[in-house]
Amino acid sequence: MVLITGASGFVGSFAVEHYLRAGWTVHGTSRRPSAEASLSGPNIHRLDLTDPVATRALVDAVRPRVVLHLAAESSTSRSWQDPLGTYRNNVLSQLSLLEACVSIGGVERVLVAGSADEYGSPEPDDSPIREDYRLLPVTPYGVSKVAQDLMGYQYFAAHGLPVIRVRPFLQVGPRRSETFFSGAFARQIAEAELGLRPPEMQVGDIDRVRDLTDVRDVVRALALLAEQGEVGAVYNIASGQGRPVRDLLDMLLDLAAVRPEVHRAPSEHRALEPAVLVGDVSRLRGDTGWAPSISLRDSARDLLDYWRRRLETEGAKEDATS
């Protein structure tokens, strides 16, 4: 039995599908409905994790063997707009969940999802970043993730809860929303293809170097760590390779049926963004044997195809109701 919080989210939706394919009984929590067929039915529970009573009741009813805590406010930009909401959601949700796991007992693994944003803005020469690198977050989102990370360790140290902490670097692939740069690129291109916008698009700083991993590879890493990871430890999840963001944009443009004109727009918090952010994944590979299997080009293709299908479906629904 596995309990996946944030089951309708980007990573959570693929985690649900991974465990279902592996034959597990899957329970998930979500604050909102999902359009994905695999994310409906009696085992997907609408739950506000900041409610400790409701959270305890669900965990007590499900009695999971493994918990993947993926629910979070995950947008850095939204965290600037509403830092209090980000802190409240991310920190209190995890507190309710860990308290529930301690209370019922019997949970064999709890994976707590942090972020590479915990590392803040390292100097370019510091990459690839190891797990023992200092945590100096520069965004409200990053601060909330450090709090989750250290809380996870505290519950391991003080309560013996078998927590494993993970710090994923940037993730790409189908279902990525337009809130994140890869999804924004793909949506704008798909809209231009469908004639929903002029053949032009807005992008931010595409010269910064990032470590990009397909979400489906990230989910494989999570599942391997749930079985083979060291409790109390923290693991980066990344490809270990840095590439300019423009590489992903160029791949998407090469796959496009039209060639939008690209306009660069300055980022409000660009000065705080690191020029280079790449993860060291030697600990993950050493403990699980994991390695990424999906190329960035395949991720780009699947992401663009996702936005094409989504926009076509939304257009068809609007036509049917008009």
Instruction: For 178-203, write each residue's pLDDT tens digit.
Output: 999 999 999 999 999 999 999 999 99
Mean pLDDT of 109-126: 97
Whether pLDDT at 262 is above 90: yes
Q: Residue 33 pLDDT > 80, yes or no?
A: no
258 forms beta bridges with: none
Pairwise pLDDT comparison (224 vs 76), residue with the higher score = 224
Mean pLDDT calculated for residue range 275-293: 98
Backbone phi and psi for residue 111, each to the nearest 5 degrees, phi listed first: -95, 125
CATH numbers and ranges of domains, the chain: 2-172+212-237 (3.40.50.720), 181-209+242-278+294-321 (3.90.25.10)
Q: Say which range, 8-12, 34-38, 186-190, has the weakest mean pLDDT.
A: 34-38
Task: Classify strands 26-30 and 2-5 as parallel, antiparallel or unpaired.
Answer: parallel
- pLDDT of 99 strictly over 60: yes
* Cα(295)–Cα(5) distance, integer angstroms: 27
Mean pLDDT, all residues of the chain: 94
- Within the chain, residue ranges assigned H as helices are 10-21, 52-62, 76-81, 83-87, 93-104, 140-159, 181-193, 215-228, 245-255, 282-288, 296-321
* Burial (0-12, 13-18, 19+ Cβ within 10 Å), 93: buried
Tens digits of per-residue pLDDT, 303-312? 999 999 999 9
Confidence of residue 272 (pLDDT cuts 50, 70, 90): confident
Does the predicted TM-score (pTM) go above 0.85?
yes
Question: Which segment of 95-109, 248-262, 263-277 scores lowest on mean pLDDT?
Answer: 263-277
d(CA 71, CA 94): 9
Instruction: Report the DSSP beta bridge partners of residue 277.
Output: 210
| Low-confidence winner among 47-61, 68-82, 209-223, 264-278 (lowest mean pLDDT) | 264-278
Residue 316, pLDDT > 70, answer no
pLDDT at res. 319: 60
Per-residue model confidence (pLDDT) at position 269: 62
* Cis upstream peptide for 128 (omega within 30°): yes
pLDDT at 320: 60
Q: What percent of the chain has pLDDT over 90?
A: 89
The CA distance from 111 to 141, in Å, is 19
- Tokens for 163, please give them: 């927590």
State the sign of the Cα–Cα–Cα–Cα dihedral 238, 243, 245, 250.
Answer: negative
